[in-house]
Chains A and B, each alone.
Chain A
Amino acid sequence: MSITATAITKTFGRTKALDAVDLHVPDGKLVALLGPSGSGKTTLLRILAGLDFADRGSGRVEFHGEDVTDTPAGRRGVGFVFQHYALFRHMTVAENIAFGLTVLPRKDRPSKAEIAVRVDELLRLIQLPDVGGRYPSQLSGGQRQRVALARALAVQPKVLLLDEPFGALDAQVRKELRGWLRRFHDEIGLTTVFVTHDQEEALELADEVVVMNHAKVKQVGTPQEVYDQPASPFVIEFLGNVNRFTPARNPLPGTGDNALYVRPHDVDIRREPAGEHSIHARVAHIFSAGSSGRVTLVRADNHDTIDAEVSRARLRELDLKVGDEAWIVFRHIRLFPAGSYTERDVVPDDAHAATTDSGHGI
Chain B
Amino acid sequence: MSSSRHRSVLPGFGLSLGFTLVYLSLIVLVPLAAAFIEIAGLTWAEFTAAVSDPRVVASYKLSFGASLAAAAVNAVFGLVVAWVLVRYPFPGRRVIDALVDLPFALPTAVAGIALTAIYSKNGWVGQWLEPHGMQVAFTRVGVFVALTFIGLPFVVRTLQPVIEELEPELEEASATLGANRLQTLARVVLPPLLPALTTGFAMAFARALGEYGSVVFISGNMPMKTEITPLLIITKLEQYDYAGATAIAVVMLIVSFVLLLLINLLQRRARRIA
Chain A interface residues (CB < 8 Å from chain B): 49-51, 72-75, 78-80, 82, 84, 86-90, 99-100, 103-104, 148, 151-152, 154-155
Q: A82-B173, A84-B167, A84-B169 are in contact. Are A103 and B180 (CB under 8 A)?
A: yes
Q: With A and B bound together, what is the CA distance between A75 and B274 in angstroms?
A: 28
Q: A74-B180, A82-B169, A103-B180 are in contact. Are A88 and B188 (CB under 8 A)?
A: yes
Report A40 CB to chain B, min CB distance, Å: 18
Q: With A and B bound together, what is the CA distance between A151 and B183 in angstroms?
A: 16
Residue from B177, B188, B274 in contact with A155 in the complex, judged by beta carbons closer than 8 Å: B177
Contacts of B175 in A (CB 8 A): 51, 72-74
Considering only residues 178-202 of chain B, those with a C-beta below 8 Å from chain A are 178-180, 183, 187-188, 191-192
Q: What are the 5 closest A-B residue pairs judged by CB atoms, nearest first? A: A100-B177, A86-B169, A103-B179, A86-B173, A80-B176
Q: With A and B bound together, what is the CA distance between A92 and B133 in angstroms?
A: 52
Q: With A and B bound together, what is the CA distance between A79 and B176 in angstroms?
A: 7
Contacts of A152 in B (CB 8 A): 176-177
Contacting pair A90 B192 (CB below 8 A): yes
Q: With A and B bound together, what is the CA distance between A89 and B179 in angstroms?
A: 17
Q: With A and B bound together, what is the CA distance between A89 and B170 in angstroms?
A: 10
The reply to whether the CB of B221 lies closer than 8 angstroms to some CB of chain A is: no
Report B88 CB to chain A, min CB distance, Å: 16
Selected A-B contacts with CB under 8 Å, 8 pairs: A72-B175, A73-B172, A73-B176, A75-B178, A80-B173, A103-B177, A103-B179, A148-B173
The reply to whether the CB of B273 lies closer than 8 angstroms to some CB of chain A is: yes
The reply to whether the CB of B174 lies closer than 8 angstroms to some CB of chain A is: yes
Q: With A and B bound together, what is the CA distance between A154 and B180 in angstroms?
A: 17
Contacts of A90 in B (CB 8 A): 191-192, 273-274
Contacting pair A74 B179 (CB below 8 A): yes
One digit per residue, 1 when the CB lies within 8 angstroms of any chain A CB and 0 when it does not, for chain B 39-57 equals 0000000000000000000
Beyond the given pairs A103-B180, A152-B177, 10 more chain A to chain B contacts, judged by CB atoms under 8 angstroms and listed by A's residue number, are: A73-B176, A82-B169, A86-B167, A86-B169, A90-B191, A99-B174, A103-B179, A103-B187, A151-B173, A151-B177
Residue from B170, B172, B183 in contact with A88 in the complex, judged by beta carbons closer than 8 Å: B170
Report B44 CB to chain A, min CB distance, Å: 49
Q: With A and B bound together, what is the CA distance between A78 and B177 in angstroms?
A: 8
Contacting pair B178 A74 (CB below 8 A): yes
Contacting pair A80 B172 (CB below 8 A): yes
Contacts of B176 in A (CB 8 A): 49-51, 73-74, 78-80, 152
Q: With A and B bound together, what is the CA distance between A35 and B177 in angstroms?
A: 27
Contacts of A84 in B (CB 8 A): 167, 169
Contacts of A99 in B (CB 8 A): 174, 177, 179, 187
